[in-house]
Amino acid sequence: MAPTRLTESAAVAVGGALGAVVRYEIWQWRDTPKWLLINTFGINVVGCLLLGSALGYLSGRPAPIPRAGVMGLACGFTTFSFYALQGITHDGAWNSVVYIVVTPVVAVAALAAGALVTRPVQRTR
């Protein structure tokens, strides 16, 4: 791995770790199901705003290390920000719409399938 690439990867790792810790701490503020949803919604919105703002600001600037760090931070904070970025930067409007609509539907179905498959069998008496 080239030294520049290694530095960028390290920036992503540090940013991702920091973002994940911040997300975890926010979730701990109010540890109830209602607040978990509210906090997660806020995290997703703020993460998208952070990623969009930073990438807009860094656009056209030779700043691979800060760009990598912000990408790691936003995507460690919430993977939704990267999903949103992919949705708006995909080639072709129709492909973007399909990606944005289909991804959450399939992801929620996959989560439900995984939970059903791994859930312990309950024995009836």
Nearest to 67 by CA among 50, 84, 80: 50
pTM, 2 dp:
0.71
Say what the pLDDT of residue 84 is: 83
**Spatial distance between the Cα atoms of 5 and 11, rounded to a whole number of angstroms:** 10
pLDDT in tens, 10-25: 999 999 999 999 999 9
pLDDT in tens, 103-125: 889 888 987 888 788 877 777 76
CB 81 within 8 A of CB 22: no
Say what the pLDDT of residue 103 is: 86
